Structure 1
Amino acid sequence: MATGHDEQTGEWFGDTEQINRLPGKVFAAVCLAATLFGIVMVAGLLAYVTKDAIRPFTANPGWFLVFFLTLVLPSTAFLGYLRQRTDGGATVGTTALGIPLFGLLLGSGVLLLFIDVLSIFEWFAFVIAAVVAGGVLAGHRRFRSRASFLEELLVGAITLLGLAPLTFEFVSTFPSLPQAWIIYLLTFGLGGAAVGGLVVARRRRDQRSGLLAFAALFVTVTAGVFIDPSTGITPPVWVILFTFAGVPTALYAEGVVRRRDGRPVGLLFPLVVVAGTLLGAALVNLLGFAGPEAWLDFQFLTNANSRFPEEAGIYPALIGSILMMVVVAVSSFPIGVGAALYLEEYAPSDGPLGVVVKFIEINIANLAGVPSVVYGLLGLALFVNWLNFASGIVIVGGMTVGLLILPIIIISAQEAIRAVPESLREASYGMGATRWQTVRRVVLPEAIPGILTGSILAFGRAIGETAPLLMIGAAASVFRAPDGFFDIFSAMPRQIYTWVGQPSQEFQYGVMAAGVVALVTVMLSMNAAAILIRNKYERRS
């Protein structure tokens, strides 16, 4: 049957009948309704849990009125003004507010690791080993200027891993070390200022501007160590938080000001929010208005579990989840991306080996749908019974959950690599590049956004898994944070599962809800970091 398109009516027609568009429109409407229904249900569930965790109705009505007048109303009005300017000021304002908030969360996580996991001796030994390894790598580049990237990576990794135990034994013989804040200042503070100077020098293509930026950042972080400790900001806390929150914020502000296109006014939005928050806090204290009696407070985040709900906290489980996710990322992401690169770029597609490769790909797809409890049994058999690791330690839990998300990372990475146009590969080969050079400089940069998208979903699933942790013997509750990767731990989902089983309603609704909100916040922070990295590579490509 011959068909055509009517330019006046915009409809398709045939010889005997007109094509019906109604099924397509109904299908699109059903999909949209299902999506909106899912979003509304999840948002409602999170709002219900957040209500139980924060308990907003326990606050004095005057508390809400004060913060509405000092924070909500001015911030909303200023953000509306920025949106009316149509020069991107609203985007600049929200980004300028989000970067320091995310930096504070990341810096707080680093602080937690240094408080309970890494001692100052271990950190100092690692820094010495890293400096020596960098010198060895620089010398290797000088004598072998045509060395491949893989060769340089192996030289640096072997040198660092070989020197780390030796430097730790050497540093442990020292009777004492400088104060912790001095070492943090010379590592985090100096390193962050150096990175900031390099970024500014590259942006402005002026080494003098980079040196000035480096000096300004280092002077600022050094001056901050003299803040009165009674404020709660000790020198180590200031150095680390400024490195992870202050330096990125300053670099973003410098980039906005440098463009000079009218958008710097958006940088005032964080100041409006901070000023409104401080003013509101001062007024409620002056007027005596009580805030909400929330379960999710600073004490909950810093306390260990307790049999009394008012004293229960999630701190040991929070540290356990952070350490577990470090193991998950190290054990699954490089292996998954490497396997995807081999299957897409190197594995043969014809002959007997091609059949084997196809069989492997089918099994990887099947493994992505295996229930998580099966991976828990696999981790118990592989890491505990065969490799003789102790049950319930951080590294066993991390590697078990890493096995769970490994097929997801492989499949998503394969799809991203497969989506790279073949013409880019052919152009690279036509310029005389080898296969590895093509993969490294053409395929991977183009595929990184897609790879990170799949990895974001995989890591979000990993941090919320409970069944594999039950199988490998993760503790239901621990009363101190793990000291390292070979220590007994409890993760946040495992701790929340324990609170749900408590007979007290305060545990089942209040403490459990606070744990869920904390878990969701950590998961969203991880996803935000991955999304920022993905967006950066998308803009670059």
Structure 2
Amino acid sequence: MSDTDEFGRVSRRVGQLFRGVLLASTLAGILTLAVLLVYVANDAFRPLTADPGWHLTFLLTFVLPTLGVGWWSYQRSYGTLTTGLLGIMLPTIAALYAGGLAALFIDVIPTLVWLSFVVAFAIPVGVVVALDRTERDIPFLAEITAVLAVTAGSLLFVPDLVQGLPTVPADWMVLVLTIGIPEALLLGRWTRGRWGRRAGLTTGAGIVVGSAVAGVLGTVTGVGAIPGVALALFAGVPTALYLSVVAIERPERRAGLLLPAVIVGGALVGELFVGALGFAGPESWVDWGFLTSTVQRGADPGAVGIYSGIVGTILLMFTVAAIAIPAGVGAAVYLEEYAPDTTVTRIIDVNISNLAGVPSVVYGLLGLGLFVRYGGAQTGTLLVGGATLALLVFPIVIISAREAIRAVPDSARQASYGMGATRWQTVKNVVLPRAFPGILTGTILALSRAIGETAPLLVIGAAQVFGVPDSWNSTVGAMPLQLYVWASTYASPAFYTTVLAAGIVVLLTAMLSMNSIAIYVRNHYEQR
């Protein structure tokens, strides 16, 4: 059979028709999703309840200038536009997650407890560094024994000693000491290698001083010391570094920074004008009270809030990340770099691929049987919920990490072996650094999926509980569960177009922000 008979008659019309059908189906899907999002956003923000003067004011001060500068940036270059968009998205997304971190230290983890465990873990880390730098030839077994003994003793006695001190630093001081100083050391070293020693010292000192000033200002202004430090360290610092990189290393894209300036300036000017002219804004359901209220049930939609669901979701994500990422990446490294190509490994490969497509409710049943029935844990707790969701995303993490490791050229491995490196040194210094962007992207997308899962948490018994947990054995809720209960058990018809829509917007914002981070990381490293 010839190639012509195998492929059939060559026709350009058929190809164009197929391309048109694909384009039409894609546009139909995008349009349907856009209509759904607009419908939900309209119920959540209620823009039509604002005065016409409010709309006109923000049209002139915010919308038109933003569109004009955005089009001008796009005409200069696509990179200029993306620089401006990232300049406004980065601080926005970072502020969201900084607020979640602040909520953990305000309601869940006391700063003194955090300080005690940081000190307890710092002691064995110092011992490991000291043993690594010593010139004496210490047997490996002796090193492991010493590290394990110091770690056990430190975790047993140091937290109680620190928590029993008569005088302890303020909350913001604890965060500056335990988070601000390590961040200053890491980013100071990064900027020193990039722009010189003076830049590294300036960056490190600026981070420490800036976070301390933010803590003091937060106390004075009423925002709170902990939120002030969290916003400075996790929103202010990344934004300042991004602006510095663009200003110093990408002069051809500096004009793109005009776009976030126009957006922020236009919003502030518009707010000043509507306040001075007395125009009423929209009666939005997504407001500060909704985000910070812990009331979960009631007949009045205006009295409930989603704060407990946000905190529960953040804690679940930390638990899932702590369990699934190290185990998943470790399994991927073993299967790709160490495991022989045998029948057993091929069976494992097939089963991992199949497990990635199993419905989430099955993992809920698995978690119920494994951790509750056989493990004896209480239903609906933070540890059980996090472990169940970790089982859900575990195959996804393995598959994404394996694909990233497989994408590393084999020539890089052979070059490392040619220099005399062992297999572990090759994996640690060659394979994992090159595969890190793909691994990070896959894990972020896996965690994004875990955020929106409801069925596993329903099965393990966390549906009716929405308190803020204070320990691993505390019951926990999550945003998807909260939305489910609002739409079913405790909701009235008034909830469907009010609080429920506002909760959906908050959940979608968290998921889309994580997906945006994953896409940016992937595109950034692909360009490099």
**TM-score, normalized by length of structure 2?**
0.90
**TM-score, normalized by length of structure 1?**
0.88
Q: Identify the residue that residue 463 of structure 1 maps to in structure 2.
A: 451
Matches within 5 A, 1:385-534: 385-478=373-466, 480-501=467-488, 502-534=490-522
Aligned-pair CA distance for 1:445 = 2.8
Equivalent residue for 2:343, pick from 335, 355, 368: 355
Equivalent residue for 2:204, pick from 204, 207, 214: 214
Q: Identify the residue that residue 368 of structure 2 maps to in structure 1.
A: 380
8 Å contact 2:61–2:269 — kept in the other structure? Answer: yes
Aligned-pair CA distance for 1:155 = 8.6
Matches within 5 A, 1:106-145: 106-143=97-134
Q: Residues 228 and 481 from structure 1, CA distance in 2 versus in 1: closer, same or farther, beyond 3 angstroms?
A: closer
Aligned-pair CA distance for 1:483 = 1.2
Q: Identify the residue that residue 188 of structure 2 maps to in structure 1.
A: 197
For residues 322-368 of structure 1, what are the alpha-carbon distances to aligned partners after superposition, in whole Å with 9 as ceiling and x for unaligned? 1111111111122122222222222221xxxx122222222222222
Q: Residues 163 and 31 from structure 1, CA distance in 2 versus in 1: closer, same or farther, beyond 3 angstroms?
A: farther
Aligned-pair CA distance for 1:500 = 0.7
8 Å contact 1:256–1:264 — kept in the other structure? Answer: yes
Report SS of the residue matched to 2:497. Answer: helix
Q: RMSD over aligned Cα, in angstroms? A: 3.0
C-alpha separation in 2, matches of 1:287 and 1:184:
42
Q: Tell me the matched-pair count.
A: 524
Q: Does 1:318 align with 2:305?
A: no
Q: Identify the residue that residue 7 of structure 1 maps to in structure 2.
A: none
Aligned-pair CA distance for 1:233 = 3.0
C-alpha separation in 1, matches of 2:181 and 2:455:
43
Q: Identify the residue that residue 56 of structure 1 maps to in structure 2.
A: 47
Q: Identify the residue that residue 272 of structure 1 maps to in structure 2.
A: 262
Q: Does 1:255 align with 2:266?
A: no
For residues 124-151 of structure 1, what are the alpha-carbon distances to aligned partners after superposition, in whole Å with 9 as ceiling and x for unaligned? 11232243233212202112799999x9
C-alpha separation in 1, matches of 2:145 and 2:12:
59
Report SS of the residue matched to 1:432. Answer: coil
Report SS of the residue matched to 2:470. Answer: coil
Equivalent residue for 2:163, pick from 172, 180, 185: 172
Aligned-pair CA distance for 1:292 = 1.1
C-alpha separation in 2, matches of 1:41 and 1:157:
57
Runs of 4+ in 1 over 6 A off after TM superposition: 144-149, 151-158
Amino acid at match of 1:126: F
Q: Identify the residue that residue 333 of structure 2 maps to in structure 1.
A: 341
Amino acid at match of 2:373: N
C-alpha separation in 1, matches of 2:522 and 2:491:
44
Aligned-pair CA distance for 1:24 = 4.3
8 Å contact 1:74–1:272 — kept in the other structure? Answer: yes
For residues 285-312 of structure 1, what are the alpha-carbon distances to aligned partners after superposition, in whole Å with 9 as ceiling and x for unaligned? 2222111111111111111213121111
Q: Residues 62 and 424 from structure 1, CA distance in 2 versus in 1: closer, same or farther, beyond 3 angstroms?
A: same
C-alpha separation in 2, matches of 1:192 and 1:395:
28
Report SS of the residue matched to 1:19. Answer: coil
8 Å contact 1:189–1:240 — kept in the other structure? Answer: no
Q: Identify the residue that residue 301 of structure 1 maps to in structure 2.
A: 291
Q: Residues 453 and 375 from structure 1, CA distance in 2 versus in 1: closer, same or farther, beyond 3 angstroms?
A: same
C-alpha separation in 1, matches of 2:378 and 2:10:
66
Q: Identify the residue that residue 223 of structure 1 maps to in structure 2.
A: 213
Aligned-pair CA distance for 1:111 = 0.0
8 Å contact 2:218–2:227 — kept in the other structure? Answer: no
Amino acid at match of 1:216: G
Amino acid at match of 1:425: R
Q: Identify the residue that residue 22 of structure 2 maps to in structure 1.
A: 31
C-alpha separation in 2, matches of 1:449 and 1:301:
33
C-alpha separation in 1, matches of 2:216 and 2:504:
38
**Unaligned stretches of 5+ in structure 1?**
4-12
C-alpha separation in 2, matches of 1:245 and 1:367:
37
8 Å contact 1:92–1:263 — kept in the other structure? Answer: yes
Q: Residues 492 and 138 from structure 1, CA distance in 2 versus in 1: closer, same or farther, beyond 3 angstroms?
A: same
Q: Residues 514 and 199 from structure 1, CA distance in 2 versus in 1: closer, same or farther, beyond 3 angstroms?
A: same
Deviates further, 167-176 or 226-235: 226-235
For residues 229-261 of structure 1, what are the alpha-carbon distances to aligned partners after superposition, in whole Å with 9 as ceiling and x for unaligned? 564333332222111111111112222222362
Amino acid at match of 1:328: V
8 Å contact 1:224–1:238 — kept in the other structure? Answer: yes
C-alpha separation in 2, matches of 1:173 and 1:452:
39
Q: Identify the residue that residue 231 of structure 2 maps to in structure 1.
A: 241
Aligned-pair CA distance for 1:25 = 4.1
Aligned-pair CA distance for 1:171 = 1.4
8 Å contact 2:120–2:155 — kept in the other structure? Answer: yes
